[in-house]
Amino acid sequence: MTKTKKLINAPEDIIPQLVSGMVAAHPDMLMREGKTGRAIVAVDGPRDGKVGIVVGGGSGHEPAFAGYVGRGLADAAAVGNIFASPSPEQILDAARAVDGGAGVVFLYGNYTGDVMNFTMAAEELEAEGTQVRQIQVADDVASAPRELRSERRGIAGDFFVFKIAGAAADLGEPLARVASLAQKANDATLSMGVALGPCSLPQTGKPNFEISDEDMEIGMGLHGEPGVRREKLASADTVTDELLDSILSEMAPVKGDRVAVLVNGLGSTSLIELYIIFNRLKSVLDERGIGIHHSWVGEYATSLEMAGASITLLKLDDELTRLLDHPCRTPALTVGTTEGAVAGSAHSLRRAAKASDSAVKTKAAAKLKSDGAITPAIFRAMMQRAGDEIIAERDWLSELDGVIGDGDHGITMEIGWKAVQGALANAEQDETIEGSCKRMAKAFLDAVGASSGPLYATAFLRAGAAVSDRLNLDAEALSAWLAAALQGVRDRGRAEPGDKTMIDAWVPAVERAERAAASGSEVDVMNAARDGAEEGMNATANLESRRGRSAKLGARSKGHIDPGAASTWITLRAMAATLAEASTAA
């Protein structure tokens, strides 16, 4: 496969350099806040008594999301890794920087990782006394039928929902009203896209899906998720008609209605093509007697260098029209003038983030059960080996994900496990297994975000808590550790066996481990878990996905191993190998 070319430095420096570059390019509009370095805040947006608007999501969609930070629109954006949700800590940095005492609204696309991470951040903010509302943008008509609209993913419709919410907050509306208007915009916004060619992740340099020169993917998602169907490439007018038909059949506008229009390029589509699409779009709307109040044509929500475009319509009433026309000034969008705005308020609002105690507490070893072959040192060695093997299998995991997802699972796992390895390297020799689990959870969550961050963090925390009374692990305690990790993933991700997720590897792993624990050794338990995970992983190839991004594929997801199940198997395989070696050495 041909490697793609990108003007980058080191792949691991992409996001910090992106943030630094944006802030440096727009110092009159943007500044960076918080310890994570991932919160971009409006210089003159936040102020006392105003509802704070926080948007966010994965990088690679520029100018979304940070490009919409500025007076009259978003007050801050939390910046995630490529195609991955920001972590709760990154979101909290953004939220605390814009909290003016009137509450905060989170706006983001309806993806599992974003929902998990923003929800965890909201829970922490609410525990601190800040009111939070959340709106998940769900405008993509291709990703779910009308009766399952809440399951749709968010694509370029973010543009209109952000604009309406930002205007309402800038006008001083209270929290409940801002959230209500944002939801109203969300309900009135519909989109559909087409992809002609793939993008490539900077870390791999490989296309994240394959499509022939003669084909197009109707309904493609922003992360390279396959669309609803693959068809032969057609003319611009034919494609425009097909996208519009899906939107208009659901929106059902009548003669005299007004809409706002966004024709959006996905990264490498020329303006020539986008204007040709708009030309046909206007003809169709004119024939139906539907007025265009305002239109935008260009790149507003991209997918790295993907070839393709999307069409978004916002059905307007007088209220939404006033908010759409309200002035704003951001790097990616300026409407009207904000010269009368109160400037510099964010500087006076810089609230010191409430210090979180990140120190890992260690219980007195004398009070803990010490029978069992797995000492804290051996446990940490098992986790270090898991990281090594995940990193070694990064490309395979990404290839699995590229078929049914967005192609970044291996990269995400590498980032998370490298963070875990670094955190464990700083652990004290007498740190308990529970303490190391807390350390691992924080490291993974802070580094990754995405859906994997909350899932793995919850798994580590629950597993550690399940053995909090132990210094060493025996066979039963190891089985309990594994079972608690599984329950953490199930509780956080709401997935069940048969959904084609990591749960399908974890469940047989735990079932076999529990049987082995009744009469076997710690090595027996770990080997049983490894074998159960492998069996479950292989079985996912016969399943139709019901959770996550791949659920949109329906029957097209069959025939492919789930990447989350694969990374589960790799992890348990590595843990088993380390434990077996330690047992032999003893």
Token pair for 302: 């991209």
Q: What is the DSSP string of 163-219?
A: HHHHHHHHTT--HHHHHHHHHHHHHTEEEEEEEEE--B-TTT-SBSS---TTEEEET
- Point out which residues pair with 292 in neighbouring strands: 259
- Please name the amino acid found at residue 247: I
Q: What is the DSSP string of 278-332?
A: HHHHHHHHHHHT-EEEEEEEE-SS--TTBEEEEEEEEE--HHHHHHHHS-EE-SS
- Which residue has tokens 């735990």? 510
Nearest-CA neighbor of 396 among 567, 539, 200, 569?
567
Helix or strand or coil: residue 450? Answer: coil
CA atoms of 455 and 460, how far apart (whole Å): 9
DSSP-derived pairing of the beta strands 52-59 and 76-82: parallel
Nearest-CA neighbor of 330 among 162, 171, 186?
162
The count of other CB atoms within 10 Å of the CB of residue 146 is: 10
CA atoms of 557 and 46, how far apart (whole Å): 44
- Which residue has tokens 């947006």? 45
CA atoms of 414 and 409, how far apart (whole Å): 9
What is the side-by-side order of every strand in the sheet holding 76-82?
Answer: 30-33, 39-42, 76-82, 52-59, 104-109, 132-137
What is the C-alpha end-to-end distance of the chain, expressed in Å?
Answer: 46
Half-sphere exposure of 258 (CA within 13 A, CB side): 12
* Long-range contacts, stretch 177-184, CB < 8 angstroms, 24+ apart: 178/51, 178/53, 178/105, 178/133, 179/105, 179/133, 179/135, 181/319, 181/320, 181/323, 182/105, 182/107, 182/135, 183/135, 184/319, 184/320
- 159 Cβ neighbours under 8 A, 6+ residues apart: 64, 68, 262, 264, 296, 300, 301, 312, 333
- Which residue has tokens 């191993």? 561
What is the side-by-side order of every strand in the sheet holding 229-232?
Answer: 229-232, 215-218, 189-197, 307-315, 258-265, 291-298
Helix or strand or coil: residue 260? Answer: strand
Task: Find the farthest-apart pair of alpha carbons in the chain and give their distance in angstroms, rounded.
Answer: 82
- Point out which residues pair with 307 in neighbouring strands: 197
Alpha-carbon separation of residue 183 from 291, 534, 565 (angstroms): 23, 43, 35
- Which residue has tokens 């409430």? 354
Residue 382, phi-psi category: left (phi > 0), alpha (psi -120 to 50), beta (remainder): alpha
Residue 26 designated active-site: no
Choice among 61, 223, 409, 560 that is catalytic: 223
Q: How far is CA 407 from the centre of its chain?
A: 13
As annotated, the active-site residues are 223
